[in-house]
Structure 1
Amino acid sequence: MTDYDVIIVGAGIAGASVASEISEDCSVLILEAEYQPGYHSTGRSAAFWTESYGGPLVQPLTTASCAFLKNPPAGISEKSLLLQRGAINIGRTEEAHLADQLLSAFSGSGVAMDRWSREEIQTRVPLLKTGWDHAIFEPDCCDIDVAGLHTGYLANARRNGTVIQCNARVTNISRTNDIWRVKAGDKSYSAPVLVNAAGAWADTIANFAGAAPIGIQPMLRTMVQLRTDPPSHPDVPLVVALDGSFYFKPEASGSYWLSPHDETAVLPGDVAPEEMDVAVAIDRFLSVLDVNVQSVTRKWAGLRSFAPDRLPVYGFDPEIPGFFWFAGQGGFGIQTAPAAAKLAHALLLGNPKGDDLNSINPDRYDPARFR
């Protein structure tokens, strides 16, 4: 039996960020079921930061993460983890009401948004087909160096003494005398606090620990990389459908990344793209741009796990002492990671929030809302 202050289940962006934040104050163990951290979700991200993604109740976490991502601490990265891109939320001729709704949803939030005409859209998307006449432009949207952020968090946690065990799938959890005992592989570990950062497996870990499941549902998300004629231009922004049916962005290689923004409920596990979803993604992409598809150079799928209200779940379980939820981060777990991890630090150690989290109401994400 090896003793720690905190055991974290999951080494994706959730577990890595929390470990990095608390490791100066606690002895920490991360248990990761896979052979490498971030295998199912973090490593398959579309890699963008945009304040409207996830909706107005997620936006405060995204906004509060910006300063950290732009100027990360030296222990995380020596360079900025954001690269300016911009995003166009685009709608068809008959979808002016969707543009109105987006502006209204973020009114007063401080998120920079500009309404664009078709002529303005074409200045950034010159191969635009007819029928796309409405857009909301978000100038602050950026690409995220996801690998840099994730590895930076893991490296910082290790420097502070965190132990990371891969190929360590949890098979049993019990609690005696206020101490959690966790079995993973042929080893057992103990700690007074257990952090559930298991992503798609969050409810499974809750069951092991005797906590009531929240109903966190893994959703399959398809991504496709295309080579086109003409090739992509790097100055084209992220393009997102106002009706939520697709997004795409160019890559420096001349190809495009695109997704049909699908959310197919699946069981926790490894996932692969369905050919029909790939075809749907390409069809929606070609409805926007006047290009020819030369080849599909890559296709993959990842998991996005949502709580029933589609908000993240951060905090101690109200019924199971010492069991801390850090899950349900949907597709926005990377862009909100810095603020979410700082919030978890405050909640785990009973400290006040820092001034950079003043806009965040932790009660909004408390697991008690489901009890």
Structure 2
Amino acid sequence: MKVLHSALMLNPSSGIINQMRWEQLAAEALEIDWTVKIFSLPHKSLSAGIFEFSVKVLPGERRNLLRRARDYMSFRREYYAWLKAESKKYDVILLRYSTSDPFLHAFISGCQKPVYLVHHTLELSELRAMGGVANKFRIGLERICRARNHEASSGFIGVTKEILQHRPKIKAGDRPNFCYPNGVMVEDFAVSRREVEKSKNQVAVLIFVASQFSRWHGLDLLLDSIEKSKADFVLHIAGHLEEKDRIRAENDRRIFLHGHVTKKKLEDLISVAEVGLSSFALHRNGMKEACPLKSREYLAQGLAIYGGHRDIFPEGCVFYKEGRPDIAAILEFRDQIVQMDRGDILNQARPYIEKKKLLLELSAWLTATALK
């Protein structure tokens, strides 16, 4: 069975690029016929491989509103024309879901191969949380497109069970569905730790990482708790902050801001951390469950996690703690796990984060579902 997994991205984030790249590497390691592609604008920092670049829309040009609208249409027409031609080479097509996309339904309806839609969020809830006039229009469009897209598709794939539970109701009956969580190529990471004395009297070292801290990360809620606490600890924050959060963080001697960091610098920070922090405000996007890629990167380096949401991990596991953005509770969790060996944390988490295992399960499900 030959599979194409494709994503349409004007400017893909580093997280999405890594996720798709790891999937391709996992497919090659498993020796399965699986191709991953991101259709994007050309950029000097992006090379070929998993990328397919637009030749009709170029980045960096100044555009008025009319020109941006024309480019939006041109970019999508070009993508679906490319996808139509590519689909002839494959048995199954997986599409990372494109929200409020007026071209998606026409492609699915006209495609001669099974098409499965892959969802990474609750799209309508996320659009509502973003606010703004433009997103009101996108919400209306997505309401029209959503059920039609899934009625035309062959199945629904979500990265969490919550996303599966919120799949659209369609007239023709339910479609096959599968949970395919985010994962990493564990081999890409080194489980290392600088030689530091493991003692409850040692100052706790925490780390919170995001490319861009958004409302749903809940950094502001954590800062609220920190400002009320006199506890001694160190918190490293890597990523871009909103201005008001940056000012608050800079005023606390216990917090160290690093901005955007290199892979090597991030690995160094994680190597001395004792707890990695995950999102605390998914409720702002109408969600209770997530499987953030950054959490998988923490665990691949043997770092336990404290987060404010459900994940796909089993209840009671030692490497993930769900709780409020309360610095006292976070430090209590740190005291519980600080003596754990990083290799043990990785070994316990590995079945839930290993990309090769997750991809093999998805491939087996598709084989049983699409080709029956």
TM-score of the two chains, using structure 1 as the length reference: 0.30
Structure with greater helix percent: 2
Structure number with greater CO (CA < 8 Å, separation at least 6) is: 1
Structure with greater strand percent: 1
